[in-house]
Structure 1
Amino acid sequence: MATQPALSLRQAGQEWLLSCAEHPALTQKAWDADDLAPIPTGTHWRVAEAPLAGSMDAVKRIGHHRVGPVLADVTQSTAWWLLPPDLDDELDDVRQLTVYPVGWVLRCPPALFPVRGRVWMERPDGSGRLTDPTLLGAAFGPGGPQLPAEAFG
């Protein structure tokens, strides 16, 4: 069945999100109630906030195969990029991005379906892959990518 692999990836992404939560059972309970679940940054990822329209363009520039999870809120026209937890100051000069500190809480829907206007624009797939901050910064930098085209695959 053609949908089985996609469903398996979404389920793997769901399990990965649960593994990132401080309280997986409470996270699952929130999702079962069609609510967003708080998942703090730090141990598993950091978060950069960006305008939704710019994020859609950035995904195309970077390439779907090189992008980690990206959460979108269509009611706020905002997106949140999941980045490596050891992120330093690589994105400090990118005006369109706001990088949140360790401990900041991202209110997440499950990987399987949207909740309250939030949907995974790029779903977690269970692999733990996160977006490379260098590629993200280049995609949002003045005039678009600042790296050679080969860097984007």
Structure 2
Amino acid sequence: MAYAMRFELHGAADAWLADCSADPDRVRHAWGTEALAPITGGKRWLAAEMNLVTAMKALTRVGQDRAGPVLADPATEQAWWLVPPDAADELADVTSVRVQPAGTPLHCPPTGWQAHGRFWLSRPDGSGRLTDPVVLAAALGPGH
């Protein structure tokens, strides 16, 4: 199976992401069929949604060394930054960001390749590192 070989390449990152789900086996099964896996935010992270171009500009300002995972969907022109579960208050006044409420599923590909057009602009690294919402807000700049 293609996923088994790919899983070895990105094992820690995929394991972390799958373990963020209430049903890690369901996530791995979805990835094994090259489908997106619904992973519910709230337990370990929330998804901060924004326009894809805005997210790419912010990622450049934040830098890969300080960025947590960022998922991109070019077809919908959206991106999602994984931020700590308490980040909603920090990002409440940032008009270009919509923090998804806890319990909202984010349909994720595995960390090593794209699925259904979605891919990781900044991949999870397996450590659980997330983007600091204060850093993200600063990277978006005034008026965003």
The TM-score, its normalising length taken from structure 2, stands at: 0.90
Work out the CA distance in 2 between the residues paired with 1:80 and 1:109. 13
Deviation at 1:21, TM superposition (A): 1.1
Q: Where does residue 37 of structure 2 map in the other structure? A: 37
Given the alignment of the two structures, is residue 120 of structure 1 paired with residue 113 of structure 2, yes or no?
A: no
Q: Where does residue 3 of structure 2 map in the other structure? A: none
RMSD: 1.7
Post-superposition, which runs of at least 4 consecutive aligned residues in structure 1 deviate over 4 A? none
Work out the CA distance in 2 between the residues paired with 1:11 and 1:40. 20
**Post-superposition CA distance 1:85-106 (Å, at most 9, x none):** 1224111111110011111110
Q: Where does residue 151 of structure 1 map in the other structure? A: none
Work out the CA distance in 2 between the residues paired with 1:143 and 1:90. 15
Letter in 2 for 1:123: R
Q: Where does residue 68 of structure 1 map in the other structure? A: 68
8 Å contact 1:52–1:72 — kept in the other structure? yes
Q: Where does residue 104 of structure 1 map in the other structure? A: 104
Q: Identity over the aligned pairs, expressed in percent?
A: 49
8 Å contact 2:70–2:79 — kept in the other structure? yes
Deviation at 1:124, TM superposition (A): 0.3
Q: Which has the larger radius of gyration?
A: 1
Work out the CA distance in 2 between the residues paired with 1:75 and 1:96. 19
Letter in 2 for 1:90: E
The 1:9/1:91 distance shift into structure 2, 3 A limit, reads farther
Unpaired segments ≥5 residues, structure 1: 1-6, 145-153
The TM-score, its normalising length taken from structure 1, stands at: 0.85
Work out the CA distance in 2 between the residues paired with 1:127 and 1:15. 10
Unpaired segments ≥5 residues, structure 2: 1-6
